[in-house]
């Protein structure tokens, strides 16, 4: 896929990848073997009928391809851009055994973009069945759950804490990876077209409780897809200095509050040198954002490059843009001035020891290897956990030791009538896994309500 030149894109927030045109998409689609037992579908968390939509592209009927995808997902342009296809659908593609798999994600993006540009309405709701369901959170899990329920005739209302719907799609993923006005907003609108109502600026647990939704507002079930927005820190000396921020705050200011746009007054501080601690996709988003805001930006990660959890594509793009990677390096202290501002980060070199419980080799500090990295800002990208507010204000709703809601595979929680899925249950994960959880919960909610009739 064509991309912006790295030296140019590192100075702007325009999308990195340009997308396929119709001829390029048709050519790539011809590589699909149309397997009788498509492993790609089995590997897709929302079970998109991949060979079917690709065959439509080959036949030149992109509208039909869009309708096939819409049966299982109303967010094709989003998923085509941010899903880790290499470990899911494309990772299961038979062509990938000895060569390059079919570029399923890029083809999905092409179809979604084409459908949007043509103004194709793919929202088909069933007649109202007289039942009402509340959804907490308008991120991927909530949108997927609401869409499936609306397609089955339910009256669905989504309650969103922020002033714009989309959840992590709005606040967490940078514009250069996922354009908000051009991609996210229209795909949220697709869910609205199904008849789903979205109420913003509602803090469930404060503005209204889950009990009130069930007992006073007439909802027969509640789905909690509130995500995981509570950042983690290392607990090392100096984390209270000015200039230490979570990736969540940094990205929210930039993405949702448009700090990158000079027309907005959102304050953001990057200084001249930024160090991002972490190695996941959020860390890549944060460090590449800092670069675009004019800072000299570095990644510090305690394992080797082989263990980086971020997508290979994101690591590749970051390197092209001049990001400095400090592997096998772990912070032990953040150093500051007498005025309380960050002046550097003290690190220790690591080496890989024996594998831990997850199978990854555990990093071990090298004795006497401490060194300092000068910087103005330290961004912690160490993962997130769910906000405890909903669990704390909902009797009978249990959480696990990580603060995540306890839920079965179908989203059933410890509280009758309350279902949950996505990052609120698993902790920070991927957009597509959250969508899959939302769809499973929608089916369970349907069965629950029908069982009470």
pLDDT for 418-429, tens place per residue?
Answer: 999 999 999 989
Question: What average pLDDT does this structure show over 354-382?
Answer: 91
Concatenate the DSSP letters of all residues of 84-142 into one string. -GGGTHHHH-GGGGTSPPP-HHHHHHHHHHHHHHTT-----PPPP-S-EEEEE--SHHH
> Is residue 234's pLDDT more than 90?
yes
Measuring CA to CA, how many Å separate 371 from each of 233, 285, 305, 347? 21, 26, 20, 5
Reported confidence tier of residue 274, pLDDT bands at 50, 70, 90: very high
> Is residue 415's pLDDT more than 90?
yes
The kind and range of the H/E element at 38 are none
> Is residue 450's pLDDT more than 90?
yes
Reported confidence tier of residue 400, pLDDT bands at 50, 70, 90: very high
Reported confidence tier of residue 357, pLDDT bands at 50, 70, 90: confident
Q: pLDDT at position 187, please? A: 96
Indicate whether this model's pTM tops 0.85.
yes
Higher confidence at residue 289 or residue 126? 289
Q: pLDDT at position 160, please? A: 98
Question: What average pLDDT does this structure show over 377-406?
Answer: 95
Question: What average pLDDT does this structure show over 148-164?
Answer: 97
Q: pLDDT at position 126, please? A: 85
User: Which backbone phi and psi does 41 adopt, to 5 degrees?
Assistant: -70, -40
Q: pLDDT at position 431, please? A: 95
Question: What average pLDDT does this structure show over 310-326?
Answer: 97
> Mean pLDDT across the chain, nearest whole number?
96
SS3 state of residue 231: strand
- Cβ-proximal residues to 82 (8 Å cutoff; 6+ apart), any chain: 173, 177, 178, 430, 431
Question: What average pLDDT does this structure show over 192-220?
Answer: 97
The kind and range of the H/E element at 179 are none
Cβ atoms of residues 268 and 293 within 8 Å: yes
What digits encode the pLDDT tens for the residues 23-79? 999 999 999 999 999 999 999 999 999 999 999 999 999 999 999 999 999 999 999
Q: Which residues share a beta bridge with 330? A: 348
DSSP character for 381?
Answer: -
**What is the C-alpha to C-alpha distance for residues 344 and 375, in angstroms, rounded to an integer?**
5
Q: pLDDT at position 359, please? A: 79
Q: pLDDT at position 453, please? A: 79
Question: What average pLDDT does this structure show over 401-416?
Answer: 96
Measuring CA to CA, how many Å separate 451 from each of 7, 118, 130, 227, 417? 59, 41, 15, 28, 12
> Is residue 358's pLDDT more than 80?
no
């Amino acid at each position: 896929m064509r991309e912006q030149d790295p030296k140019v894109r590192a100075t702007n927030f325009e999308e990195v990848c340009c997308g396929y045109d119709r001829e390029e998409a048709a050519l790539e689609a011809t590589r699909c073997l149309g397997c009788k037992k498509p492993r790609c579908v089995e590997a897709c968390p929302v079970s998109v009928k991949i060979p079917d939509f690709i065959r439509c592209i080959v036949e030149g009927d992109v509208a039909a391809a869009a309708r096939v995808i819409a049966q299982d997902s109303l967010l094709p342009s989003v998923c085509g851009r941010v899903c880790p296809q290499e470990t899911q659908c494309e990772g299961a593609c038979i062509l990938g055994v000895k060569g390059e798999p079919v570029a399923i994600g890029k083809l999905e993006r092409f179809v979604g973009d084409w459908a949007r540009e043509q103004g194709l309405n793919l929202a088909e709701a069933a007649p109202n069945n007289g039942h009402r369901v509340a959804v907490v959170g308008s991120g991927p899990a909530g949108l997927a759950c609401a869409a499936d329920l609306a397609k089955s005739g339910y009256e669905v209302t989504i309650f969103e804490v922020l002033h714009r719907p989309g959840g992590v799609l709005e606040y967490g993923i940078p514009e250069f990876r996922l354009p908000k006005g051009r991609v996210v907003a229209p795909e949220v609108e697709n869910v609205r077209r199904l008849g789903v109502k979205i109420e913003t600026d509602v803090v469930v647990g404060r503005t209204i409780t889950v009990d009130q939704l069930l007992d006073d507002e007439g909802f027969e079930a509640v789905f909690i897809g509130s995500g995981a927005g509570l950042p983690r820190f290392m607990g090392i000396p100096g984390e209270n200095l000015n200039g230490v921020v979570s990736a969540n705050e940094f990205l929210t200011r930039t993405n949702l509050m448009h700090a990158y746009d000079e027309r907005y007054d959102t304050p953001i501080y990057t200084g001249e040198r930024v160090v991002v601690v972490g190695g996941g996709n959020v860390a890549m988003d944060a460090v590449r954002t800092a670069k675009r805001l004019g800072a000299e930006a570095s990644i510090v990660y305690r394992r080797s490059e082989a263990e980086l959890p971020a997508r290979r594509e994101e690591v590749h793009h970051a390197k092209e843009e001049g990001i400095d990677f400090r592997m096998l390096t772990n912070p032990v202290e953040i150093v500051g001035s007498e005025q309380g501002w960050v002046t550097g980060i003290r690190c220790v070199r690591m080496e890989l020891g024996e594998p831990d419980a997850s199978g990854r080799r555990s990093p071990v500090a090298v004795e006497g290897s401490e060194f300092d990295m000068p910087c103005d800002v330290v961004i912690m990208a160490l993962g997130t956990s769910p906000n405890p507010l909903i669990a704390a204000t909902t009797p009978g709703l249990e959480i696990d030791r990580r603060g995540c809601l306890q839920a079965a595979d179908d989203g059933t929680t410890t509280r009758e009538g309350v279902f949950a899925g996505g990052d609120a249950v698993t902790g920070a994960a991927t957009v597509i896994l959250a969508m899959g959880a939302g769809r499973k919960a929608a089916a369970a909610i349907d069965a629950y309500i029908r069982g009470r009739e």
